[in-house]
Each structure stands twice: as C-alpha cells, then as structure tokens.
Amino acid sequence: MGSQRYLNQDVQSRTRWVLWVGVAIVIFGLLSLTLFIVPAGSVGVVTRWGAVNRVAYPGLGVKIPIAEGVVRMDVRTLKDEADATAASKDLQVVTSKIAINYHLDGQYAVDVYQNIGPNYADVVIAPAIQNIFKATTAQFTAEQLITQREAVRVQAEQALTSQLGVYHVVVENFNIVNFDFSPEFNAAIEQKQVAQQQVETAKQRLAQAQVDAQSAVAQAQGQADAQKALKDTGALSPEYLQYLFLNKWNGVLPSVMGGAQPFIDVSKFMPTPIAP
C-alpha cells in the first residue's frame, strides 16, 4: 500500500511538471507572436490581414498574433551602383559606372510600401539612374563630358533628386565613377591633344622670336638715337673719333694696301710725336 501511494504521488508530480512546461511553452509562443523588435536604422510597417495598418519605429512593439505582421524597411544610407550606356550630343557612345547614396524617408515608409513595395530600389531607383544618365549625356558633346564632368554630375544629381523625391527617396550623393568611349574616339582625342600641344609650342617660339626682334630693333634704335645725339651736340669731334679708333685698333696695319692712297690712313689717328 505504501509503495502504491508513493508511486501515485510521483505520477502526479510528473504530470504537474509536464503541465507547467506546456503552459510555459504556450506563453512563450504567444509572446513571440505578440512582441516584435524594430532595430535601429529601420522602421516597421505593420500589416493587418495583409493591409497596411501603421508604422512601428525602432524598439519593442506589440502586434496581434496571426492577424498582424511586420515588414522591416531600412532608412539608413544605402549605396547602389549601376552600369549605364548612352549617346552624347555628337552621337558618341558613352558607358559609365554610376554610384549613388540614398535613404528612404521613414515618415513615408507606409506610402512607399503600399504604393511600390519593399523592393522600391529595383522598382524606381535603378530605372531612374538609367533615364537620368541618358537624358543628361545627350545635352553634352563627348569632349564636354570629359572637360565639364562636374557640371554633368551636378545636373544629373539635381534631376535624379527631383525624380526620386516623388517616391520619398532622398538622394544624398551622385557620382560618375568613370566615362568610357570607343577606341576610335579615344585615339582622336589623343591626336587632338598632341596637335594642340604642337600649336602651343609654335606659339611660344613665335612669341620669343617677336620678343627677340623687338629687342634688336630697340637696340638698333637706341644706337641710332645715341649717334644722332652725339652728332647734334657736336660731340663727334676728330679727337673723339681718334679715341674710339685707338680703343678698337689692335695695332696691326692692314696687310693689303691699294694704290698710292692707303685704304686707311692711320697717320691722322696717331698721336703727334713730341719734338726733341
């Protein structure tokens, strides 16, 4: 009898333990279906039977089990890259890699989810990048795309910001990573640069020649003016001419003399000997 009583007590104890475990599991399951967490940098779109009901912000939230669900949408800065091909104003084929930074305006997350869906980046951002790139490059020649790259970037960024703003997507930055053209166009650009360099070199040489010519003219004019001044003032006296000759003469008489009249009569330039 005693052993039977102990056996019954043991069975009852195990039964109660199993019941408590079952209740704990049910409670935990209900809590997991009722509570949810929205991480920082995201918002939660709460749906009820598939229809959008409200927005849940970062932190712990409560929902109706089974009836309600939560879709998380990222509102942090995201980066997207895309390869784009277009034609320039002069019909040159242009390929480029585009990189943008953007984020979703969290207060309109419900509208974006309801009208576009959680994959809004593929639905609106990717096509917008392609359209804006084509529309912008068509306004510039291929050479302008290279020389006015910053202007092209700014214009494309403004157009993309305006277009995506309708969908509550904020464009933070727009970058054109590179421009690629056909090999034929690249060769033509290189030849043009070489020709321009040759023209610049020729201009520099011409400018230097003009400076040298002007300098020579100025020097000759200076000498002429000096001689005229000396003549006008009477400074070109025989004594002064004799002085100039003696400074230039090396003391050697010409080896060729013609006729009775010497080619150069140096006697008149020689100093008069002093009488003994």
> What per-residue confidence (pLDDT) applies to 274?
46
> What per-residue confidence (pLDDT) applies to 165?
94
- pLDDT, averaged in runs of 10, over the chain (276 residues): 57 69 68 82 89 87 86 91 89 90 91 90 92 93 88 94 94 89 69 63 73 72 65 61 62 56 53 50
> What per-residue confidence (pLDDT) applies to 33?
76
Q: Both tokens of residue 126?
A: 């990717």
Predicted TM-score (pTM) of this structure: 0.58
> What per-residue confidence (pLDDT) applies to 237?
61
SS3 state of residue 15: helix
> What per-residue confidence (pLDDT) applies to 253?
57
Q: How far apart are CA 252 and CA 17, in angstroms?
A: 140
User: In the chain, what is the straight-line distance between the N-terminal and C-terminal CA atoms, in Å?
Assistant: 181
> What per-residue confidence (pLDDT) applies to 106?
87
Domains of the chain: 2-72 (no CATH), 78-181 (3.30.479.30), 238-269 (no CATH)
Sheet holding 51-56: strands in order across? 51-56, 42-48, 68-74
> What per-residue confidence (pLDDT) applies to 229?
61
Of 71, 69, 72, the closest CA to residue 42 belongs to 72
Q: How far apart are CA 225 and CA 231, in angstroms?
A: 10
Q: How far apart are CA 110 and CA 56, in angstroms?
A: 10
SS3 state of residue 21: helix
> What per-residue confidence (pLDDT) applies to 174?
92
> What per-residue confidence (pLDDT) applies to 219?
74
> What per-residue confidence (pLDDT) applies to 193?
57
> What per-residue confidence (pLDDT) applies to 146?
85
User: Could you say which DSSP state residue 140 is in?
Assistant: S
Sign of CA dihedral 28, 31, 32, 38: negative
> What per-residue confidence (pLDDT) applies to 11?
59
> What per-residue confidence (pLDDT) applies to 249?
59
> What per-residue confidence (pLDDT) applies to 91?
85
> What per-residue confidence (pLDDT) applies to 151?
93
> What per-residue confidence (pLDDT) applies to 1?
52
Length of the chain equals: 276
> What per-residue confidence (pLDDT) applies to 169?
95
